[in-house]
Amino acid sequence: MRDSVTLAPVAGARIELGHSARDSAESIRVITADRVGRASLALPPGALRAAAWHTSSTAGPVHVELLEGEAAEVELLLVAGHELAGRVVDAVTGAPIEGATVAVWTFAERDVVRTLDDGSFRHARFPASDFAEQIRVEAPGYGPTIRYLVVEGDGRWEAPSPTDEALVTTGHGHAWIEVGLVPEVRIAGRVVDTAGRPLVAAVVAEGFFHALPSIASRDGAETNSQSDGTFALEGLRSDIGHSLIVDAPGFARSVLEVPPGIRDADEVTRIVLSRASALAGFVVDPEGYPVEDIEVALVAIDASSQAYPSVRAHRAMDVEARVDAREFRGRTSPEGSFVFDRLREGAYELTIVREAEALVTTRVQVDGTGDAPAVEVRLPVESMTMAGRVLGARALTDISVAVSRFGEIGRATVDADGRFRVAGLDASLPYTVEVRALRRGTHTPVYAEVEGFAYEPLAIQLEARDADYPRIAQAVSE
């Protein structure tokens, strides 16, 4: 931790570390810099977000990929911030709210201040930049909200309305903002099977509200039902609708819509889950070879899909965005296979997607017997397959080929002979082809990068200095 002007170490600075191990949600820890401005923490491999604050300055956020067996060092420079003041009130009655927490969420989630008995607050560390930052406000008994604020280097500031682009509050000097919180809604109920037996299930409520006219923020809560099947979710906004998503092992997912305007949604008292069905299949290219890492979408189309009604926003802050429980998405394995579980019995549309374009769609039937054969989906003859070989890769193991065009499209594992195939492509523009380590991550080693059309067989020659870091290769036509 250093001061951005003097570069002197800053003792006592608070450092927020958001760590996401692979395939897990982010966990947040806050540690304190020692007398020489340093702090250390042992963490497993994964993604790390670091931010810091001290008196009237902030630093970060900085993002780092943590690799197995390697030490990572992050330097954070503390920059002087601006003072932010304001008031938090009940959006219905206008009464001040005491004890609400206010955080500049896009910097450090745990750097919070609390409102006084008159609802007022002061935050000494709002960052100065040309970008809008999120102010998140929460209080017991209320749903959370997010407002955007921009404070420029010369002290000019503006706070746009969450619902009207024409309404922008502006000023110069200390920024001031009033935030209204809506009373919370409580969603409670009981989860049972078709015989009325209680189930332990994961229950998630998810809705979206306007932070800006064109930007939605998630409002959600999650819990597990108890041994008697009962559950309760609190702290949700009452002015927007929520999708209630219920999952239990071995049972089909259930989704119910809770409309906005309900202050106490205890009428959602009984949720009945039926036994889950599954659908397995595999995707092959026009020549019959398995297709790896291609997107598969499954959408319910039978009458039972009426259990998932269309969603319309009824209030100004509500956003027409919900979980579409009829839709499931996944990607094929290296063998070209896919599996969808937690399905209800019925008819579905199965679509193979590449670059957001549907390559082929077929209708399938899901039953509850478990005896249905695997579905084979063959890509149309007009779709193209890039076939190639990585040469000089004997010293390498666990490598893959990533194909991209304005973003990554798909990957294929390189076999023992160095061969690979990526299907579902087109001939409109060339693709970028990278030879990488098989693992995914921000710092995944890239051994070669070339360009080629889907219809051109590729031979990618690696000129290795050692087994761990080959030089960039050259591509030649076979």
Of 339, 354, 378, which residue constitutes the final position of a domain? 378
CATH of the domain at 470: 2.60.40.10
Residue 310 has pLDDT above 70, yes or no: no
Q: What is the pLDDT of residues 422-441, one digit of tens each?
A: 999 998 889 999 988 766 55
Are 189 and 266 contained in the same domain? yes
Are 125 and 140 contained in the same domain? yes
Distance (Å) of CA 10 to CA 5, 14, 57, 147: 12, 10, 11, 31
Question: pLDDT above 70 covers what percent of the chain?
Answer: 87
In angstroms, the CA 463 to CA 366 distance is 50
CB 1 within 8 A of CB 59: yes
Are 118 and 195 contained in the same domain? no
Are 315 and 293 contained in the same domain? yes
Of residues 336 and 260, which shows the higher confidence score? 336
pLDDT for position 416: 84
Of 245, 273, 301, which residue constitutes the final position of a domain? 273
In angstroms, the CA 150 to CA 170 distance is 9
Are 90 and 173 contained in the same domain? yes
Q: Average pLDDT, stretch 310-332? A: 72
Domain total in the chain: 5
CATH of the domain at 27: 2.60.40.1120
* pLDDT band at residue 324 using 50, 70 and 90 as cut-offs: low
Q: Average pLDDT, stretch 78-97? A: 93
* pLDDT band at residue 337 using 50, 70 and 90 as cut-offs: very high
Of 337, 358, 378, which residue constitutes the final position of a domain? 378
The full DSSP string for 229-288 is SEEEEEEEESSS-EEEEEE-TTB--EEEEE-TT-SEETT--EEEEPBPEEEEEEEE-TTS
Are 374 and 282 contained in the same domain? yes
pLDDT for position 464: 53
Q: What is the pLDDT of residues 250-271, one digit of tens each?
A: 999 888 888 887 666 555 678 9
Are 324 and 367 contained in the same domain? yes
Range with the poorest average pLDDT among 180-189, 313-322, 360-369, 468-477: 468-477
* pLDDT band at residue 373 using 50, 70 and 90 as cut-offs: confident
Are 22 and 89 contained in the same domain? no
Residue 456 has pLDDT above 90, yes or no: no
Secondary structure letter of residue 182 according to DSSP: P
Q: Average pLDDT, stretch 204-230? A: 90
Residue 314 has pLDDT above 60, yes or no: no
Domain range for residue 395?
384-477
In angstroms, the CA 11 to CA 135 distance is 27
Question: Of 113-117, 147-151, 269-273, 451-455, which has the strongest mean pLDDT?
Answer: 113-117
Are 155 and 103 contained in the same domain? yes
